[in-house]
Amino acid sequence: MKRIKQLNLLNTRLGFFTLLVLLFWVKNIFAYFTAFNLGIESPFQYFILFINPIATTLFLLSIALYAKKTKSFYRTSFLIYFLMTLLLFANVVYYREFTDFITINTILGAGKVSSGLSSSTIKMFEWIDVLYWVDFIGLLIAFFAKKLGKDERPVKARYAFAATALSLLAFSGNLFLAETDRSGLLTRTFSRDYLVKYLGINAFTGYDAVQTYKTHQVRAEASPNDMDEVASYVKEHHAAPNDEYFGLAKGKNVIYIHLESTQQFLIDYKLKDENGVEHEVMPFVNSLYHDSSTFSFDNFFHQVKAGKTSDAETLLETSLFGLNQGAFFAQLGGKNTFEAAPNILGQVAGYTSATFHGNNKTFWNRNETYARFGYDYFFDASYYDVNEENSFQYGLHDKPFFEQSVKYLEHLQQPFYTKFIAVSNHYPYAEFTDEDAGFPLANTSDNTINGYFATANYLDKAVEEFFTYLKAAGLYENSVFVLYGDHYGISNGRNKNLAELVGKTSDTWTDFDNAQMQRVPYMIHIPGQTKGGINHSFGGQIDGLPTLLHLLGIDTDNYIQLGQDLLSNEHQEVVAFRDGSFMTPAFTYYNGVLYDNDTQEAMTELSEEQQNEFEQLQEKVNLQLATSDKINNGDLLRFYTGSHLAPINPDQYTYKNSLNELLTIERTLGSQSTSLFSKNNNESTVDLYKTLKYQEYYPQVNTENQEITSDAGQEPVAEN
Ligand code: GP9
Ligand code: MN
């Protein structure tokens, strides 16, 4: 009898180990499909999802294999299995409430968890959750009832080692596949969803633990003295507001419009189709650009790095840089103290703040970062009707995005500070396949470039429709609009293919040209005033916040901002790129080479005077970047009291049930409510929104003599 038992595979240590690995794997896959929404887009991603629990499960359980004593083998196995199950289970329950995964900070702080838990602990559990524990309990019972034999023989060390080695190998393979599908996964950390989707919950938690530990170390070393140094730097560099413009937009609503991947060269750009007919890419944005109510800038540069969109948000809303490595939002957005625009405007001028964006809230860790920026509301993908037809990899397309946003916007108390993050004009600039197709594609050897103009045109139309609504609804006149490009759309690696389209040649294209391409649109449109125009002053995204605050009549001298008001007479025209390159009206310093902007040539020999000037500029740039890093890495703003802003409690922002919250506020305020809805006699303005597909703007002509397909470059026959 004993013999038979021993032959039974499950009664051996290796058999038991294998059983645990298999059971956990199944549980994990079950959770992937029933509890989480991971946005799987291809069979390849399904494959990665299927295999990703294996490596870490093997690794963790293999630890028990090293135990010699019988008791310690089984104890360790059960313990590890219990902990893995607990982690999975906790994530399942947490996700149900927060649509997010548990971070080490959440566990340590437990603020968010407990605030969610306390309100409805019981409600958070569902019967199905029992499934995560039945196997564990079943195994325990079987074990103590001696149905599961104890194997007294230790696993040979080389087998234990082989299991660990196999798990590491499996992990490298997993990581390789993940990187093939989504490069920069670990360096850029797009979102927690991505880490789980590609590497699994255990790996995500481990990764998060390492990151948390690293940031904790740096922070622990920072002291209030560091803050004093920073404060004196900021004081010295502060550019006083220009009286002519200070307060020009005081009290107005702020509407930021994020023009995804839009470069300055698209402004006034006309794309020639194959018949030589020119098509203006962004006619509506151009009309704003040339309007005397708009402060437009044509030497404005993006300053982002790996955090792309989120870095632009950091720059524009905190006047600090992102990090030189990785995404700032992901690494520190959920941990740091900020003096961000929504917080300042909320506390100083009574603004209500909201971000609108048709992607999941955890992308770029926005949900955690926005809470620390002081955003009252965040309408992410969960607030929109997103389906396969109206969306792509990065979320809801721009036309339905703006259209569906207004049902929330109309309930915001005024004045409000809002940000609309469009996304359709995002790499890979895929051709529209429905009635939104029609704008001509460029004809280069690079499909990414070819599609760029059509998606930018789509964005332009989406913005125009939004403006048309705002005018009809009566929000336009009392709002100030900030339109900005977040970063390049065409990367330096592709620019040679773009050269011909921007009046250059690929043979003579240099890094000088690459640097010039980092210009992005920046315009502040203030209906009713006429002091605008195209300003040629050199500046960057870091300068956005003081510029805007001064226009809103808010002094910035007590805030820790590294940029300078672009309209100030004291504004210095030195634009730092995140890697230490820079741009001034006279020089371009890019990838280690200094160029003369007039000759566009590299300056190989510098006079002593030029050398000095160069060194001074470089020092200035490095100091600005280093100061930003010091603030961000040391979380120095937690020590700063000079701004007199009350500290933020990020746990108060859950970004759930926001519409209900807004309606309650409206009701409570009654006749004092300043929302558009209330001002409109409690009637919705949603019906004022008109949206058309491209082919409705440009109906196809189809007569006997002429047969013109939509992509043959037909001139528009109707604008509306
Ligand atoms: C994703 C969107 C795109 O939500 O904002 O971000 P990007 O890839 O441009 O940084
Ligand atoms: Mn972007």
pLDDT of residue 706: 37
Atom of ligand 1 nearest to the CA of 394: 1
Domain's final residue, options 218, 249, 273: 218
Q: What pLDDT is stored for residue 105 in this prediction?
A: 80
Domain boundary among 159, 188, 218: 218
What mean pLDDT comes out for the span 179-196? Answer: 86
Q: Is the pLDDT of residue 112 over 60?
A: no
Model confidence at 641, in pLDDT bands (50, 70, 90)?
very high
pLDDT of 701: 46
Q: Which residues contact 403 (CB under 8 A, 6 or more apart)?
A: 465, 689, 691
Asked whether residue 597 is domain-assigned, the answer is yes
Averaged pLDDT for residues 120-133: 83
User: b vs e for 377-406, b when ≥16 Cβ sit within 10 Å of the residue's Cβ?
Assistant: bbbbbebbebeeebbeebbbbbbbbbbbbb
pLDDT tens digits for range 51-100? 999 999 999 999 999 999 999 999 999 999 999 999 999 999 988 877 78
Task: Indicate if the pLDDT at residue 113 is higher than 60.
Answer: no
* Residue 640: predicted pLDDT: 97
Confidence of residue 188 (pLDDT cuts 50, 70, 90): confident
- For ligand 1, mutation pick of 308, 365, 541 (most atoms within 8 Å of CB): 308
Which tokens in the block code for residue 611? 């050398």
Rg of the chain (C-alpha set): 28
Q: What three-state secondary structure class fits 232?
A: helix
Q: Is residue 717 part of a domain?
A: no
Residues 454 and 428 in one domain: yes
C-alpha separations of 156 from 6, 68, 153, 553 in Å: 17, 9, 9, 74
Position 700 scores a pLDDT of 64
121 shares a domain with 28: yes
Residue 710 lies in a domain: no
**Residues 166-188, mean pLDDT to the nearest whole number:** 92
Residue nearest to atom 1 of ligand 1 (CA): 394
Q: How far is the CA of 379 from the centre of ligand 1 (A)?
A: 16
Q: Is residue 714 part of a domain?
A: no
Please provide the DSSP assignment of 129-157 as one string: GGHHHHHHHHHHHHHHTT-SPPP-SPPPH
> Residue 255: what pLDDT?
98
Inform me whether the pLDDT recorded for 424 exceeds 70. Answer: yes
**pLDDT at residue 123, rounded to an integer:** 67
How many domains is the chain built from?
2
Lookup: tokens for 508: 């003579």
Q: Give pLDDT, residue 122.
A: 67
Indicate if 150 and 55 belong to the same structural domain: yes
Q: Are residues 595 and 695 in the same domain?
A: yes
pLDDT of residue 148: 84
- Residues 205, 236 share a domain: no
Residues 464 and 581 in one domain: yes
- Asked if residue 234 and residue 196 are part of one domain, the reply reads no
Mean pLDDT of 629-641: 96
Pair (13, 33) in one structural domain: yes
**Whole-angstrom distance, CA of residue 495 vs CA of residue 476:** 37
Compute the distance between CA of residue 460 and CA of residue 454 in angstroms, rounded to an integer: 10
Sign of the torsion angle spanned by Cα atoms 593, 594, 598, 599: negative
* Domain-located, residue 712: no
Q: Rounded to the nearest whole angstrom, what is the distance from the C-alpha of residue 135 to the centroid of ligand 1?
A: 41
pLDDT digits over 384-408, tens only?
999 999 999 899 999 999 999 999 9
Q: Residue 702 above 60 pLDDT?
A: no
Identify whether residues 259 and 123 lie together within a single domain. Answer: no
Question: How far, in Å, from the CA of 419 to the mean position of ligand 2?
Answer: 14
Say what the pLDDT of residue 121 is.
60
Rounded Cα gap, residues 607 and 613, in angstroms: 10
Q: Is the pLDDT of residue 120 over 60?
A: no
Question: Residue 309 catalytic?
Answer: yes
CA of 467 to the centre of ligand 1 (A): 23
What the block records as the tokens of 589 is 């310093």
Whether residue 272 sits in one domain with residue 192: no
Of residues 58, 27, 234, 235, the one with CA closest to residue 139: 27
Q: Answer yes or no: is 718 within a domain.
A: no
Least trusted range by pLDDT, from 80-89, 221-230, 573-582, 699-708: 699-708
Cα–Cα–Cα angle for 325, 326, 332, rounded to 5 degrees: 110
Residue ending a domain, choose from 188, 218, 248: 218
H-type alpha helices, 246-340: 283-289, 308-318, 328
* Residue that the structure tokens 């009206």 belong to: 585
Nearest to 376 by CA among 401, 351, 399: 351
Ligand 1 nearest atom to the CA of residue 421, by list position: 5
| Residue having the nearest C-alpha atom to atom 3 of ligand 1 | 309
Catalytic: which of 189, 309, 455, 584? 309
Bridging pattern class, strands 582-583 and 587-590: antiparallel
For 319-339, the three-class secondary structure string (H helix, E strand, C coil) is CCCCCCCCCHHHHHHCCCCCC
In the chain, the amino acid numbered 54 is I
Span between the terminal Cα atoms of the chain, in Å = 86
718 pLDDT above the threshold of 90: no
Averaged over 139-152, what is the pLDDT? 89
How far apart, in whole angstroms, are the C-alpha atoms of residue 425 and residue 415?
29
The reported pLDDT for the residue numbered 253 is 98
User: Once rounded to an integer, what is the mean pLDDT over residues 2-10?
Assistant: 59
| pLDDT above 50 for 368 | yes
- Could you tell me which residues come within 8 angstroms of residue 579 by beta carbon, excluding any fewer than 6 positions away? 305, 324
Q: Tell me, what's the pLDDT at 3?
A: 47
SS3 634: helix
In a domain, 79, yes or no: yes
Residue pLDDT, tens place only, 319-338: 999 998 888 999 999 999 99
| pLDDT confidence band for 189 (50 / 70 / 90) | confident
Neighbours of ion ligand 2 (CB under 5 A): 308-309, 486
- pTM more than 0.75: yes
Residue ranges making up the domain that contains 253: 225-701
Q: Could you tell me how far CA 594 lies from the centroid of its own chain?
A: 32
Q: How far is the CA of 694 from the centre of ligand 1 (A)?
A: 24
488 closest CA partner among 449, 455, 510, 520:
520
In a domain? residue 711: no
Using a 6 Å CB cutoff, which residues line ligand 1? Answer: 308-309, 359, 363, 394-395, 421, 423, 426
Residue minimizing CA distance to atom 5 of ligand 1: 309
Query: Looking at the structure, do residues 210 and 234 belong to the same domain, yes or no?
Result: no
Tokens at 337, concatenated: 């103290």
Q: Is the predicted pLDDT of residue 708 greater than 60, yes or no?
A: no
Q: Are residues 155 and 255 in the same domain?
A: no
Please tell me the predicted confidence (pLDDT) of residue 10.
82
Mean pLDDT, the chain, as a whole number? 92
CATH of the domain at 293: 3.40.720.10
> Please, which pLDDT band fits residue 174 given cuts at 50, 70 and 90?
very high
Q: So what's the pLDDT on residue 712? A: 35
Q: What is the pLDDT of residue 184?
A: 85
Q: List C-alpha distances in Å: 555 to 264, 321, 373, 647.
A: 29, 21, 19, 19
